[in-house]
Amino acid sequence: MIWNEAKECMSRDELSALQSSRLVKLVDYVYHNVEFYRKKMQALGLLPGDIKNIEDIVKLPFTTKDDLRENYPFGLFAVPRSQVVRVHASSGTTGKATVVGYTRRDIDVWAECVARCMAMAGITREDTIQVAYGYGLFTGGLGAHYGAEKIGAMVVPMSTGNSKKLTTMMVDFGATAIACTPSYLLHLTEILEQEGLIEQLKLKKAICGAEPWTEKMHKEIEERLHISAFDIYGLSEIMGPGVACDCEFHKGLHVCEDHFYPEVLDSATMKPQKAGETGELVFTTFTKEALPLIRYRTKDLTSIDYSTCECGRTSARISRFKGRVDDMLIIRGVNVFPSQVEAALIDVEEVSPHYMIIVDRVNNLDTLEIQVELNPKYYTDEIRVLEGLNKKITHVLNQALGLNPKVKLVEPQTLNRSEGKSVHVIDKRKLY
Ligand code: DLL
């Protein structure tokens, strides 16, 4: 069964009518239940009755992560605490955690959205799925878990932390699917290869997300594990995983648009980008009860396509993420995204896709060092070979970034492996 297929395949006009009626209800709901929104609307001279259809969404104010932090922990909740059955939180690297809450119905809607995503990836009740996102305050573990259970798959709640046990059980249980971050899956792949377990796997699918990954990394995972990998997107503030996912055609991620309204805006002017143009993704939650959010600025960079997909779904598709507005490093005036480094390195056979970008400032000049791990197959300590390789990689990165980085080759398995979201950048300039 494909969850709620009708909603994913309704015509754009029908969808727009549904979105209009849901937006009108939402605005009335937040005006009467969240002081923060009432005050924001009053400041703009807006009354709920001024919002009549989905086109009017542009009149509404934005919400940011700082708004959530300033109202920490429960200040933006629209229901009394007795109706909140769960909270999650995202740690963030600075400041207070962002706390999000769910009513019983929010949890049900969340499970349905994740189930839709998993159905898009072809997961059925015949599957055995290892959930290897972290369980706990992070939304990945429990979010994927409830969605997979809703489909009726057999769920193995592995969480992260014991990779050897995970790979052993993957073989012993005949796991056919795994849900985890793409960088963690790459790490698990290394272990499976080292232990000679690849041929014994029954694995067919991976549902990966929670961090940006390039098209090339996607292909590499598919080839090394002989599986199909799917890209699942979400963020705690909006719900968790399950806001969007790609289907078997891999031509963008279908947004659960009956629950979440996407806008792609120019992050400087906050005006809509045309279809296909990259901008900041902004979401409005139509149906959330505990923490409804209006025009939440995700800071994620993507583009949007409203055409019907080859799979028949009519829901808008967002493109694979290009990074985040705040991921972007400005080094000597040049904009650099970590994903550009990953995309460039994946073409170089002699190195693995593990890297670390270290930015510093010396004598008022930005410096860029990129540490790159050698592929064990090509590992050598012959200085001349290493120098040649260093030159080659410097050239590749120079072409990709428009900057001349200092490349440091490191031995296989020396850079830190992450079990959750990977960390690829150390910006020492922020420490001064
Ligand atoms: O990462 C929710 C999630 C869990 C999504 C498991 C998918 C799978 P947060 O911790 O709040 O929530 O982080 C949200 O992670 O704004 C993006 O920057 C990034 N992100 C999430 N999914 C993707 C993806 C979860 N598929 C932030 N591609 C978001 C690129 C992603 N970036």
What are the pLDDT digits (tens) for 242-256? 999 999 999 999 999
C-alpha separations of 397 from 96, 348, 370 in Å: 36, 10, 9
Q: Which residues of the chain have pLDDT under 50?
A: 1-5, 93
Q: Which of 211, 221, 298 to mutate to test the pocket of ligand 1 (most atoms within 8 A of CB)?
A: 211
Q: How far apart are CA 252 and CA 233, in angstroms?
A: 11
Ligand 1 within 6 A of CB of 251: no
C-alpha–C-alpha distance, residues 29 and 210, integer Å: 30
Exposed e or buried b per residue across 110-144, where buried means at least 16 C-beta atoms within 10 angstroms of its C-beta? bbbbbbbbbbbbebeeebbbbbbbbbebbbbbbbb
Rounded to the nearest 5 degrees, what angle is found at the Cα of 16, between the Cα atoms of 10 and 19? 105
pTM summary value: 0.89
Does the beta carbon of 16 lie inside 6 Å of ligand 1?
no
Is 233's C-beta closer than 6 angstroms to any atom of ligand 1? yes
Cβ contacts of 378-387, under 8 Å, gap ≥ 24: 378/349, 378/350, 378/351, 379/411, 379/412
Tell me the longest C-alpha to C-alpha distance in the chain: 74
Ligand 1 near 241 CB (within 6 A): yes
Ligand 1: does its nearest atom lie under 6 Å from the Cβ of 133? Answer: yes
In this predicted structure, what is the pLDDT of residue 95? 62
Mutating to test ligand 1, I would choose from 233, 245, 293, 419 the residue with most ligand atoms within 8 A of its C-beta, which is 233
Is residue 234 lining ligand 1, measured as CB closer than 6 Å? Answer: yes
CB atoms within 10 A of CB 296: 23
CB 142 within 8 A of CB 241: no
Distance 136 CA to ligand 1 centre (A): 15
Tokens of residue 30, six digits? 């937040």
pLDDT per position as a tens digit, 259-304: 999 999 998 899 999 999 999 999 999 999 999 999 999 999 999 9
Does ligand 1 come within 6 angstroms of the Cβ of 323? no
209: Cβ below 6 Å to ligand 1? Answer: yes
| Residue 32 CA to ligand 1 centre (angstroms) | 31
- Report pLDDT for 51: 98
Closest Cα to atom 18 of ligand 1:
300
Q: What is the pLDDT of residue 37?
A: 98
Q: Enumerate the H helices of 152-295 as residue ranges.
A: 163-172, 182-194, 215-225
Per-residue pLDDT, 7: 62
What is the pLDDT, as a whole number, of residue 137?
A: 93
Name residues whose C-beta falls within 8 Å of residue 135's C-beta, 6 or more positions apart in sequence. 141, 142, 145, 157, 159
Of 113, 300, 318, 419, the one to substitute when testing ligand 1's pocket (max ligand atoms within 8 A of C-beta) is 300
- Say yes or no: CB of residue 302 within 6 Å of ligand 1: no
Q: What is the DSSP string of 116-151?
A: HHHHHTT--TT-EEEE-SPPSSSHHHHHHHHHHHHH
Centre of ligand 1 to C-alpha 380, Å, is: 37
How far from 268 is each of 264, 275, 319, CA to CA, in Å?
12, 17, 20
339 lines ligand 1 (CB under 6 A): no
How far is it, in rounded angstroms, from Cα 23 to Cα 59?
12
Using the mean position of ligand 1's atoms as its centre, give its distance from the Cα of residue 321 in Å. Answer: 10
> Given strand 425-427, what is the order of strands in its sheet?
406-410, 365-374, 351-362, 425-427
Cα(144)–Cα(316) distance, integer angstroms = 22
232 CA to centre of ligand 1 in angstroms = 8
pLDDT at 429: 87
pLDDT of residue 90: 85
Instruction: Give the number of the atom of ligand 1 that is nearest the alpha carbon of residue 98.
Output: 11
The SS3 call for residue 315 is: coil
Q: Residue 2: what pLDDT?
A: 43
Q: CA nearest 60: which of 89, 15, 28, 88?
A: 28
